[in-house]
Structure formats: structure tokens, C-alpha cells
Structure 1
């Protein structure tokens, strides 16, 4: 069985004139990251590999979760190709995960995240909002074969405020 945990990066700041990939989280992004990661610790069992987009806002969000879930440096990777907005590209990256890893947590961007939640899970979301988290389980032994998963958890910041 494979478990995929998708997390859209937190709310980012447009305050400064920065290139898209360098935009940091705003205060709300940090607060939502703390709330969602703290809530998720109740459901999380150790052993997941965390992959993050290199974009500042995604990496800052991933770091909040890394600390809250007590994930080791060995289980944390920045993946350049995760700076994508395309669901097909995102799914290719996920399907490239080594099969020795049973739980994969990915921090990325919309619309790729929402579309992937809807293409792989069994519960439709209009939008995976910033810092939204979705857990999908698959009855597959290999990442390359994942499809028709069961959405088991969806955590949205607005539901925790």
C-alpha cells in the first residue's frame, strides 16, 4: 500500500517585488502551517519521505511540517521539478518515487495540487487552498501504478480557525 500526502504551500506574500519562486510566506501562511501541521500530528505515523518544491513559500511550508512531525534530514528532499503548476508533471514526479518508500508527502503549487487530488483521490475538491492537506491511500505496491486512490483525510485551514 502507498500513501500520498499532498500539501499546497502556505499563503505567500506579494509585498516585495520578487520573482515568483522567491516569494516568502506571509504571517497567515506561517499561522496556517502551524495549525495544519499540529493537527496532522494526530494522524501522522513516522516514516514518510518529504519532497518540497524549491520555491521559497513551499520550502518554508515544508520546513514547518518537518519540524512539527520530527522528520529527519535524511527523509527531507528538495526536488527542483516540483516547481510545477501542471498536474501531469506532478504525477510523473510522484510516480518516480522509489518503491521502498511507502509514504510520500509532497509540498507544491496549484493548480497541479488540486488537479492531482481530484485525479488520484475519490473526493472532489473545488480547490485545495493554501496550506490545504490531503491524504490519499492506494492499494498498489509500486508508485508507477497509483490511480483510483481513497481520500482519507482533508485538512483545510479555514476549518481550523
Structure 2
């Protein structure tokens, strides 16, 4: 099983949460840049999509600086990046807002990349996925950390037909870039929560410390009141 049954060509929605961001003092949330780890992880996300043969025909990206930085570093791994639209509606968007933007996409696009923020992206994945391979839905419910990538597959005549429960969640990965001084290549968590090498991240059953986009002094998992 690779996609939900339906009428029309196979389509894929690739959901990428922005990489780890910094919290410079006095900088508005919308203008926060990537942290050093985020600048390592974003290219790893791009490489992971290329290795999975999951490159998009079109990208929709939040206008927040950390999302734009993530897009730039990820797409730089692909040779010729696809067209991208920077849409302010994707910043701090909830599921209805995200769906409204996706529904505007031309039916000529078969693989669409969405670069944005939590909690909206994780909630979108959970809303759209009627089922998942392995334990992907459990992974997303537990945590969808920075630089996480979820791939949803479905059949449809156009993006307007994408609705709650119509897609299959085929993969969830958390690509991680090589840390300075560490040996081994890029790796990441898979839907079963296991990691390879030394630079991956477990998604389930392990506290992540500062792996989320958490403000200094804020408890992990506590809503920051801003786009995550």
C-alpha cells in the first residue's frame, strides 16, 4: 500500500517543518534566523528528500525568516530547485488556513512541498492522514520536531479534492546534519523511532531537551505563543 485509493494521478504532499531557529534578543518572531544546528539540519532535509526521490514540483513557504532559510538551504541540495511561493498566510497558520493555500495549487503539480511551522503542520498531517505505514501517525502525535519531514500520498484529480482522511502517511523522518567534530554522515529518525549513525534523533519515548523550537527558559512542549 503506497497511497490512499482514489480517482486521478498519484499526488504527494511533503510537509517540512523549518529547521531549528535562534532566539536573538530584540528580534521579532517573524525575523528569527536559523540556529547553527538549524543551518546543519536544513541541508540534510534537502538531501533526504533527494535520496527518497521526493523532490517537489512546487514549494509553498512561510515568509518567516527561519522558514525561508530552511527552504534556501534544503533546495540548494537539488541542483535546479523548483518554483517557490512565499506566502504570508503560512506563518502561524492553522489547518483551515493551510488547506486553503493548498487548495489553490494547480492540478499540474503532483508533488507539493509545504515549509512552515508547528503546531499547524503536525495538525495538518494528522487531519489528512486516514492511515499510515508503520507507526507514522503515532510518531507525529508524539512529536514533530524541527526539520521533520512527513510525506502524504493520495490520488486525486486536483488539490481541491484533498480533504480530511483522504491521504496515506507514507513516511516521517527527522534529518540531522553532521555535528562539528562528529564522524559519520547525515541520518535521522524514522517512523519506528530508531536512528542510524550518531547524529540522528529519536522521535518517540525520549525527551529531546532543546530539539524543538523552544524559547530560552521555556519548558519543552510548552506552547511559546508564536509559530513553532
Confirm or deny a common fold (TM above 0.5). yes
TM norm structure 1? 0.91
Partner of 1:133: 149
1:39 aligns with 2:48: yes
Structure 1 residues 97-139: Cα deviation after superposition (integer angstroms, max 9, x where no partner): 1111111101001111000011112242122111100110111
| Ranges in structure 2 where 5+ consecutive residues have no aligned partner | 1-9, 176-187, 190-198, 201-228
1:153 aligns with 2:171: yes
Residue correspondences, number: 160
Partner of 1:49: 58
TM norm structure 2? 0.65
Q: Which has the higher contact order (CA 8 A, sep 6+)?
A: 1
Does the aligned pair in 1 maintain the 2:55–2:111 contact within 8 Å? no
Query: C-alpha distance in 1, partners of 2:57/2:144?
Result: 21
| Ranges in structure 1 where 5+ consecutive residues have no aligned partner | none
State the superposition RMSD in angstroms. 1.7
Larger mean CA deviation between 93-102 and 40-49 belongs to 40-49
Query: C-alpha distance in 1, partners of 2:127/2:95?
Result: 9
1:111 aligns with 2:127: no
